[in-house]
């Protein structure tokens, strides 16, 4: 969302602090976990939203008031992920053609207020040292913080055999991770290059973290270069979650000091299964 969009934004009371009302913000990543990462053409796929830490998450049922975009793209274009309010999975999709599907969930902003200790710890955990330094210059380090947070989650699902010609695509989210190679076609000794953008421009010096469900405590972490790029050498099996957080001062009149955006990207590396389709 642009700065002008933030200036026009009115905070919906119904969605304030829905997700993070009972726990620290830093303990809550959001990711997409489809019912299968390797559907047959025409198979119905449930799109589950999960909120948690270290790939242990609780279901986030569909809530229409939170949804800015909930879509998927296949070789024929962009389509909505349909579903019913209050239901988990939060949506369903069906692609009748083989290829790489890009699923995206972009939320409206929600509000949370955190005490100083939790907010400062969250800034350290997510690599947001510039915000901590700005709070220090404002003499706000010991003050609580009001924040508007938005989710920008994506998932890559492969139907059929991987193709280098088919890859991730930008969905136009405020903060977005884009895989610059098809992760399903990578060899075991090849890196996955990714690009992080904020408002469609490369975001430099942002912390990007990758974790695998088979051992989520062994996190890979690096910062983006001047072009917003990182590279990871990923183990060739299991579900991967790659994530990043960006924070800026909130627009005047938004009833918050800070606006944060949480990007995530999931996929499952099972080369032998993919090649067998």
Segment 74-95, tens digit of pLDDT = 989 999 999 999 999 999 999 8
**pTM of the predicted protein model:** 0.88
CA 58 to chain centre: 16
Helix, strand, coil percentages (3-state) for the chain, rounded to 5, are 15, 45, 40
* pLDDT > 90? residue 275: no
Q: Using CA atoms, how far apart are residues 255 and 120, in angstroms rounded to an integer?
A: 20
| Nearest by Cα to 194 from 174, 175, 219, 218 | 175
Q: Answer for the pair 49, 18: CB distance below 8 angstroms, yes or no.
A: no
Tokens of 125: 């955990």
DSSP state of 109: P
- CA angle at 207 for the pair 28 and 62, rounded to the nearest 5°: 30
User: Across-strand partners of 242?
Assistant: 210, 265
pLDDT digits (tens, 9 = 90+) for 224-241: 999 999 999 998 899 999
What confidence tier does 17 reach under pLDDT thresholds 50, 70, 90?
very low
- Reduced to 3 states (helix: H, G, I; strand: E, B; else coil), residue 271 is helix
Mean per-residue pLDDT of the chain: 89
């Amino acid at each position: 969302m642009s700065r002008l969009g933030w200036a026009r934004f009115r905070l919906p009371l119904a969605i304030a602090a829905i997700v993070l009302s009972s726990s620290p913000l830093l303990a809550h990543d959001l990711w997409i976990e489809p019912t299968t990462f390797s559907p047959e053409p025409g198979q119905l796929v449930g799109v589950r939203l999960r909120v948690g830490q270290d790939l242990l998450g609780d279901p986030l049922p569909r809530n229409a008031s939170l949804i800015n975009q909930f879509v998927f793209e296949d070789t024929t274009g962009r389509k909505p992920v349909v579903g019913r309010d209050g239901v988990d999975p939060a949506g369903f999709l069906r692609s009748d053609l083989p290829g790489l599907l890009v699923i995206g969930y972009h939320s409206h902003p929600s509000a949370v207020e955190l005490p100083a200790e939790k907010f400062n710890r969250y800034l350290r955990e997510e690599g947001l040292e510039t915000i901590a330094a700005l709070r220090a210059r404002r003499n706000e380090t010991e003050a609580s913080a009001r924040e508007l947070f938005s989710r920008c989650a994506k998932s890559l699902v492969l139907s059929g055999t991987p193709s280098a010609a088919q890859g991730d695509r930008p969905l136009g989210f405020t903060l977005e991770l884009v895989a610059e190679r098809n992760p399903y076609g990578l060899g075991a000794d090849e890196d996955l290059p990714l690009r992080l953008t904020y408002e469609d421009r490369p975001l430099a010096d942002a912390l990007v973290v990758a974790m695998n469900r088979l051992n989520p405590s062994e996190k890979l972490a690096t910062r983006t270069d001047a072009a917003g790029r990182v590279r990871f050498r990923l183990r060739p099996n299991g579900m991967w979650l790659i994530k990043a957080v960006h924070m800026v001062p909130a627009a005047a009149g938004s009833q918050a000091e800070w606006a944060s955006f949480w990007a995530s990207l999931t996929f499952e590396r099972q080369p032998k299964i993919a090649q067998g389709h």
